[in-house]
C-alpha cells in the first residue's frame, strides 16, 4: 500500500472549510474534531463531519477524521458518529501514549464496522479502515514498539511537535534539532514495523516567501530523516509538500537508468556493476525500485522515463 504523503487538517466545526475541501486536490484531508474544535462545538462538529462524509470529494484521495484523545472520554462518541459515514477511510488518533489507546479504537472499529476489518481484506470489496497514530509525548516515544504492534488497522505514525515540546518543556527552533531524537525514533520504528506512512511535524510558518521557504527546508529535512509525508495546516502548503515528497524528475531518471541497466546486468550474471563511475549493487537497486514505486503511486509518468533510458547499459 502506498503511504499517505500529506495530511491537511481542517476544523470539523467549520462548514466553510468543509465546503472548500470539496474543491481541493490533495492526498489526505483530516477533518478535525480535536484541538481546533472548542468543547461547546464538539457535538456539532461530529454531525457536520458525518454528514459531509456521506459522499466523496473528487480531488481528495483519503478522507480522515481526527478524533479526540481516548483519555478525554469523547473518543467513543466521535467514533460512533463518524464510522457511520460511507466515505470514511482513516481514523487519526491523537495523544497515543500506549498500546491501550489503539486497542480501544480497534475494538470500536471492529464492533461498528466488522466488514472492514484489516485482518480480513479478502472477504470484502470495501478497503479496511486505516489508523494513523499521533506521537506527542516522551512516553509515546519510549513505547513505540508496543504502539506499532497494537492494531492491525495501524498504517502510520505522525509526529506532533508542539505537544511534544510542551511535554518536554522544549522551545521550537528553526533548526528543529530539539526534535532530532524523537523524529529519528518515529521514522525508524515506522519502517521497522512496515508501516506505510511516516508523517512529519507541522510547519507553522506558511505565509509569504519566507514561510514557503521554511516549509521547503522542513520537507527536505524530514525526507532526510526517513519521513515520507508531512502535516499541513493551510491549503497554501499543499503543493509544496506534495512536490517535496514525490520523486523529482532527476531522481526518477536516475532510478530508470538503474532499473534498465540492472536488468541487463542480471542477464549477464553480474551482481554488481558501475554507473557513472559509482558501484551499483543490490541496496542501490532496491532504492531505485522504491523510487519507481513511489513515482507510480504519485501518478508520475514512469513509462516515459523508462523509455528514454532503454539503451542504458551497465558499465
pLDDT digits (tens, 9 = 90+) for 151-169: 999 999 999 999 999 999 9
Please identify which residue in the block is written with the cell numbers 539503451: 311
Beta bridge partners of 275: 278
SS3 sequence of the chain? CCCCCEEEEEECCCHHHHHHHCCCCEEEEEEECCCCCCHHHHHHHHHHHHHHCCCCCCCEEEEEEECCCHHHCCHHHHHHHHCCCCCCCEEEECCCCCHHHHHHHHHHHHHHCHHHCCCCHHHCCCCCCEEEEEECCHHHHCCHHHHHCCCCCEEEEEECHHHHHHHHCCCCCCCCHHHHHHHHHHHHHHHHCCCCEEEECCCCCCCHHHHHHHHHHHHHHHHHHCCCEEEECCHHHHHHHHHHCCCCHHHHHHHHHHHHHHHHHHHCCCCCEEECCEEECHHHHHHHHHHHHHHHHCCCCHHHHHHHCCCCCCC
Could you tell me the CA-to-CA distances from 230 to 5, 63, 268 in Å, in that order? Answer: 7, 16, 42
The pTM for the full model equals: 0.86
In the predicted model, what is the mean pLDDT of the chain? 92
Establish how many alpha carbons lie within 13 A of residue 187's alpha carbon, considering only the half-sphere containing its beta carbon. 19
pLDDT digits (tens, 9 = 90+) for 281-311: 999 999 999 889 888 877 889 999 999 999 9
User: What does the pLDDT read at residue 1?
Assistant: 42
Establish how many alpha carbons lie within 13 A of residue 38's alpha carbon, considering only the half-sphere containing its beta carbon. 3
pLDDT digits (tens, 9 = 90+) for 70-119: 999 999 999 999 999 999 999 999 999 999 999 999 999 999 988 877 66
* Grid cell locating 204: 507553522
Please identify which residue in the block is written with the cell numbers 478497503: 127
Highest mean pLDDT among 108-117, 181-190, 242-251: 181-190
Amino acid at each position: 500500500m502506498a503511504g499517505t504523503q500529506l495530511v491537511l487538517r481542517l476544523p470539523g466545526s467549520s462548514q466553510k472549510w468543509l465546503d472548500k475541501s470539496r474543491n481541493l486536490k490533495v492526498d489526505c484531508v483530516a477533518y478535525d474534531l480535536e484541538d481546533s474544535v472548542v468543547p461547546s462545538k464538539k457535538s456539532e462538529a461530529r454531525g457536520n463531519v458525518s454528514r459531509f462524509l456521506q459522499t466523496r470529494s473528487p480531488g481528495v484521495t483519503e478522507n480522515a477524521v481526527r478524533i479526540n484523545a481516548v483519555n478525554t472520554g469523547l473518543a467513543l462518541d466521535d467514533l460512533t458518529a463518524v464510522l457511520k459515514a460511507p466515505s470514511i477511510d482513516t481514523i487519526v488518533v491523537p495523544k497515543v501514549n500506549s498500546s491501550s489507546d489503539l486497542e480501544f479504537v480497534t475494538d470500536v472499529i471492529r464492533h461498528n464496522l466488522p466488514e472492514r476489518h484489516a485482518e480480513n481484506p479478502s472477504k470484502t470489496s470495501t478497503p479496511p479502515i486505516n489508523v494513523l497514530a499521533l506521537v506527542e509525548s516522551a512516553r509515546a516515544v519510549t513505547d513505540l514498539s508496543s504502539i506499532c504492534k497494537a492494531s492491525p488497522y495501524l498504517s502510520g505514525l505522525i509526529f506532533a511537535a508542539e505537544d511534544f515540546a510542551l511535554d518536554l518543556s522544549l522551545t521550537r527552533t528553526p533548526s528543529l534539532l530539539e526534535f532530532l531524537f524523537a523524529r529519528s525514533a518515529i521514522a525508524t520504528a515506522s519502517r521497522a514495523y512496515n508501516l506505510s506512512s511516516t508523517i512529519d511535524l507541522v510547519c507553522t510558518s506558511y505565509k509569504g516567501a519566507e514561510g514557503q521557504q521554511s516549509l521547503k527546508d522542513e520537507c527536505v529535512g524530514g525526507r532526510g530523516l526517513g519521513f515520507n509525508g508531512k502535516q499541513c495546516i493551510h491549503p497554501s502548503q499543499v503543493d509544496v509538500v506534495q512536490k517535496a515528497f514525490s520523486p523529482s524528475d532527476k531522481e526518477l531518471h536516475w532510478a530508470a537508468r538503474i532499473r534498465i541497466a540492472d536488468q541487463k546486468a542480471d542477464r549477464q550474471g553480474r551482481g554488481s556493476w558501475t554507473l557513472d563511475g559509482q558501484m551499483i549493487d543490490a541496496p542501490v537497486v532496491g532504492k531505485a525500485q522504491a523510487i519507481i514505486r513511489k513515482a507510480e503511486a504519485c501518478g508520475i509518468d514512469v513509462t516515459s522515463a523508462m523509455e528514454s533510458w532503454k539503451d542504458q547499459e551497465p558499465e
